[in-house]
Structure formats: structure tokens, C-alpha cells
Amino acid sequence: MKAPSLTIGIEEEYQIIDPATGELKSYITQILDEGKLILKEQIKAELHQSMVEVGTEICQTPADARNELVKLRRSISELAGRHGLVIAAAGTHPFSNWEQQEITPFERYLGVQNDMQDLARQLLIFGTHVHIGIEDRDFLIDAMNVARYFAPHILCLSTSSPFWTGRRTGLKSYRSIIFRHFPRSGMPPFFDGWPEYNGMVEAMVRTNCIPDGSKIWYDVRPNHRYPTLEFRICDVCTKVDEAVCIAAIFQAIIAKLWKLRRDNLTFRVYPTELIEENKWRAVRYGLDGKMLDLGKQKEVPVRELIHELIDWFLRDVLDELGTRAEVEYAYKIMEGGSSADRQLKTFNEVGSTRAVVSQLVRETQEGVS
């Protein structure tokens, strides 16, 4: 069996914001044509007109991915700036209301709105999706089965959605709650190989549940177009360094799982229900909570588990990949807090969600301009 390429692709969804009010601005159709002249297929519309999605080229390393993200954020910022607008990266907008947003009038999104009704209109959320190249489909499913366990840990590092329609939700990733309303979402179940997964998708297509595998919205899924395992669990990362960090961690996890498989070893596969419990704790408490160490069958502080993931499980592959610096940025996140923690700190100090928006706009530009 051939080793996976471990290529990296990152998609980010940004908020389009009117700086005069701090509100979301439904404006993607006005800037899309101009954007495509500059970024071609790297810029896309999304369900809501107040969102713009970008995607990196296929990258070999996290350093390559950083260069791509810097280029994309700079280009989108300049494009928005020509229209008197700014962008921000956060899983939800601190106060804009989903009921006041316009749906992008493209056939695909009007179809989603027709199928999902208010669930689609309410889907005013923004994520980071990381693709890791795995060409062998059987290993891809094996890797998905195991990597599910680590996904909630990485969500804690990315949490950036503590607010919803102007209210402090008490959660660090409210985006995860909104997206869970969609069918075929959440943590994937265990699949006994590619034939079982592909058979499920084909059955859903045959019975008119979905047109293709793109409508399987699991937190971790085989991408239906590319030979990648796609991690969709994370809120969009406010800072470029955070996005690069989580991409580097996902790449290192797959590299480690391949190394174990090559040596005829594996990591234990845990029940979906227990992984979902860890995800709930990540959603609710982020870095400040405890998760289940399913091997030891006990609660452990999240920061300890992330340290263990990096210092013990991934230690040997980081130098082989040359990504230790990017992965160990997680220590800085744990020290200073995730975007959600920083947003809440600002709100507690100032008492203003407008101030939170201003902070998000600044942090989105950090290391970019």
C-alpha cells in the first residue's frame, strides 16, 4: 500500500462586514466577478450573501498553506475594501441576526434553502475545513475511524463562536450547535472499510436523499471530489497562525496513523457516542473544560490531553514532517485562549459586541497586511 501524500488544503469562510455599523453585509454577488478575475476558483460564494469562501491551492506543507492563506486574506480584504467593507473570521457574528440575511441567488443555494427551509436560513455560520491527501481509500476510512477521537480536541483550539444574535450563549462553539440541526452531520459512525461507506452514499443517491457525497456533512468525511480526508469540525480560525496550527496537527495525526499502519499497529477505535460526548464538552467549555480520556476511562483537563497528543502521540512525526513549530503554536493558543476566549474577555471588559467585532476584524488581519 502506497503512503499517503499528506497534502494540505484549507477552506475558510469569512464574514463580510460594514465597518460603519459592525453588521454583516449581504454583498458577495457584487464582488464575486471581480474576485474571480483575481483569485479564479479560489473564491466562492456561499449560502448567505454576507459570506465569502476561499480555498488554498494544494499545499505540501503547513508553511505553503500559510503563504496561501496570507495571500487569500489579503486579496479578499483589498477586494472588500474597494467597496468600503471589511472581513472578519469567526464562527458566528457577535450580533447580526440570521433572519435579516439574504440567501445567495444561485441555483445550488436556492435548492438548499428549498430543501432545508429555516435550517438553511439559520445556517449563518463560518468554518475552517482542512483536507489531508490520502489516496488509498481503505486507509482513508481507517484513518477517519481513528481520527474522529482527536477531532474534539482540535475543535477546542479553534472555538470562535461564543455569541449568537447579540447574546452570550454560554458555549464556546455555538456554530457547532447550529450546524447539528442539519441531517447527516455530526461525528461520523464507524465504517468497516470503503465499500461500506461508498455503499451508504450510493444508497442515498439512489433513493433521492442526496445528489452526491457533498451532502454528507460529517465532522470528518471523505471528500466526494478529491482523494482527501476532510476535517470540517472546526470554527473558522480568527488568526492565520491558528488555522495553520490546526492544519499541521491534522496532517501530523494522519502521518502518525499511517506510520502505525505501516508497522502493523493501530490506535484503538472508540464508540461514536463517547466521541460525541467529548465534542459536546469542546462545544460547551472549549479549552477550559475536561474531556474523557477514553483509554484511561477518566476525565482529564483539555489542556493536558492536547499536550499529551503533541508531546507523546505526535512527537516522532513532527520532526519528520518539519512541522514542530506550526503544531506547537497550540501551546500559545492554550496560554492565551482561543478566539472565543478572547472575544468573551473583550466583552466582559467593555460590555460591547461592537467592540468584539472590531477585535475580530483586527485579528483577522494579523500577520496578513
49-106 pLDDT per residue, tens: 999 999 999 999 999 999 999 999 999 999 999 999 999 999 999 999 998 888 888 8
**Higher per-residue confidence, 118 vs 195:** 195
Instruction: Please choose, from the candidates 89, 91, 71, the residue with its C-alpha nearest in 3D space to the C-alpha of residue 79.
Output: 71
Q: Where are the alpha helices (DSSP H) in 106-184?
A: 107-116, 118-121, 137-147, 151-158, 174-179
**Higher per-residue confidence, 324 vs 102:** 324
Beta-sheet pairing, 8-17 with 51-55: antiparallel
Q: Over the stretch 104-125, which tens digit does the pLDDT of each residue have? A: 888 888 888 888 898 888 999 9
> Which pLDDT score, from 0 to 100, does residue 89 have?
98
Q: Considering the domain 8-364, what is its CATH architecture?
A: 2-Layer Sandwich (3.30)
Residue 257 contacts residue 147 (beta carbons within 8 Å): yes
Helix, strand or coil, per DSSP, at residue 91: coil
Q: Over the stretch 217-261, which tens digit does the pLDDT of each residue have? A: 999 999 999 999 999 999 999 999 999 999 999 999 999 999 999
Distance between CA 301 and CA 306 in Å, rounded? 9
What pTM, to 2 d.p., does this model score?
0.97
Integer-rounded Cα Rg, in Å, for the chain is: 19
